[in-house]
A and B are shown apart, each in its own frame.
Chain A
Amino acid sequence: MSIPKICGIETEYGIIAKGMDASAVTASSLLINSYVGRFDKNVGWDFKDEQPGNDARGLSLDDSFPPEIEMHLVNTVLTNGARYYVDHAHPEVSTPECRSVDEALIFDRAGEEIVRQSMIAAKSFLPEGAELIAYKNNSDGKGNSYGCHENYLLARALPFAKMAALITTHFVTRQVFCGAGKVGTEFESMPNESVAFQLSQRADFFEEEVGLETTLKRPIVNTRDEPHCDPTKYRRLHVIVGDANMSEVATYLKLGTTAILLSMIEDDQLPEDLLLLNPVPAIRQISHDPTLRQAILLENDKRMTALEIQESLYQYAERYANSFGLESVGQTTGENILRRWREVIEGLQSDPLSVAHIVDWVAKKRIIDGLVTRHNLRDTDAKLKAVDLQYHDMRPDKCLALRAGLETLVSQRQALDACTAPPESTRAYFRGKCLEKWPNDVVAANWDSVVFDIGSGPLKRIPMIEPLRGTKAMTEELFDRCLTPSDLISALGDAVTSSSFKPSN
């Protein structure tokens, strides 16, 4: 039976320092420090279990470049269970691990609010006229891309190669509804203006079907094997192929459809008749055709459009839901995902403009086409590229996505609450509550442990290798009962170990 699809989103934001000289790393550090500096204590990240070089296929690393861990950069953990840090010259928010797609969406929205609050806080430290501006997009239009990653809990027993082959079809075609849209192309052998508008921010940057890299020769399926939990029971699929979405419904669909299809693969219920012959060129061909008519070749010699493939995937998912249920994503949530998945496919089939309130690339293209007509602009006019960038501007008074009539699923209140309160249904609750209750005693935290300094003896490390333990239901009473970290350590007994964590700053 498929396991709970615990999931999260890791977003690298674009960043510009306006009215001041600052490198991207300095600007990112300033942004994050401005936010965490508002609180008394900056809790460090414990790198003990970081292994981004581990490959899910068990291969040697001779031909690839595993990501390096940048321990010297700003890196902190928030009371909502999220990680907020500088990654490769970008500010990145990793949401806490969530039991449902609804929760993950709320925490992705909270991430946006945290970045907005950081921009406001930074302004008060900077000289008159200077500001830091963040963009929730994935490319600068000049060949530089940065990611919006998703992660999903999988059973370790599931053979990786089989899963990779099956999910690739979805990763190549789901951009019809979760592409964020882009003016021009950045594919290396094509002139930028040879594509006026494409579905995806990221599609130009994928060169391999499966692999370990994330910053060059990017693969459609990433093999990074860092479960951040019990490695004998779980995998954590690290998905690097997606765009950062401004549309909440697009984020919801991106996570939801992927979680359901992964559950189907775990239950051996996704047929193999939709495997693609050439996924790498296909992801680009689909992205480069906003008419959605481009057919791509399947392994079985059939030709189908991305939309036809999505319709087939949807039908398989509906059949799966009827016979297996959708408990792995939550039954009610699962039914909502299926309904919205069907609606977006039908909308794109009849008239893409009918889903301009849901699909980012359609909303963006509607603005661009409107401006072209109104001002009689050429496809290459800088104004259109400005619209492309400004759609993702995190300043509410400048953001075009906020003006595009997008449907919302999360209230502002929910997003703001989630900036400080953790999700209640995973171990993120335990992490967040420890930080909220004892900010001066927690010296470090990471996904699967919290390290305390209780004043005497070695540091104490509380491991959290089960993502579904440490929930509110399981620990609320414990937090009520324990007045000090020492009480907590005593209460947990043998589970606590000594830690050799040394603060890096």
Chain B
Amino acid sequence: MPETTRKQKPTKVKTKADTVDETKPAVNSEKLISELDDLLDEIDEVLESNAEDFVKNYVQKGGQ
């Protein structure tokens, strides 16, 4: 299996070495915030329009 195609990477994976390196900025917070903003824009767009009815009508029979 090919090891990984990453579609979008919200944050950098920190290794222990990263976390002890105080001189390096831990994460680019501006970039993170703008990524989250884009994601939330998209989610606001596709989210079921009547959340209350959608949640109420989602009823399942118990399974295993």
Which residues of A come within 8 Å of B, CB atoms? 12, 14-16, 24, 67, 87-90, 102, 105-106, 135, 139-142, 144-147, 149, 214-216, 240, 336, 343, 346-347, 350-351, 353-357, 366-367, 370-371, 374, 381-383, 385-387, 389-390, 397-398, 400, 403-411, 414
Contacts and interface: CB of A to CB of B under 8 A. Distances in A.
B63 A386 contact: no
B42 A403 contact: yes
A477 to B, nearest CB: 27
Contacts of A14: 58, 60
Interface in B1-57: 1-16, 19, 27, 35-36, 39-40, 42-44, 46-48, 51-52, 54-55, 57
In the A-B complex, the 9 residue pairs with the closest CB atoms: A146-B63, A405-B8, A89-B61, A386-B51, A140-B60, A214-B64, A88-B63, A147-B64, A382-B51
Contact of A357 (B10, B59, B61, B62): B10
Interface of B: 1-16, 19, 27, 35-36, 39-40, 42-44, 46-48, 51-52, 54-55, 57-64
11 contacts: A14-B58, A144-B59, A215-B63, A354-B12, A354-B13, A367-B39, A370-B36, A382-B51, A383-B47, A405-B35, A411-B5
A142 B42 CA distance: 28
Given A370-B36, A386-B54, 11 more contacts: A67-B64, A144-B59, A216-B62, A354-B14, A366-B10, A386-B48, A389-B58, A390-B48, A398-B48, A400-B46, A408-B4
Contact of B62 (A105, A215, A353, A407): A215
A145 B7 contact: no
A325 B28 CA distance: 40
B58 A16 contact: yes
Contacts of A367: 39-40, 43
A145 B62 contact: yes
Contacts, number: 149
Nearest to B49: A386
Contacts of A144: 59-63
A133 to B, nearest CB: 10
A357 B15 contact: no
Contacts of B62: 88, 144-146, 215-216
A141 B6 CA distance: 31
Contacts of A147: 63-64
Contacts of B57: 16
B1 A414 contact: yes
A355 B4 CA distance: 15
A142 B51 CA distance: 15
A385 B55 contact: yes
A102 B3 CA distance: 10
Contacts of A149: 64
A216 B64 CA distance: 8
Contacts of A400: 43, 46-47
Nearest to B16: A346
A90 B60 CA distance: 9
A408 B59 CA distance: 30
B51 A343 contact: no
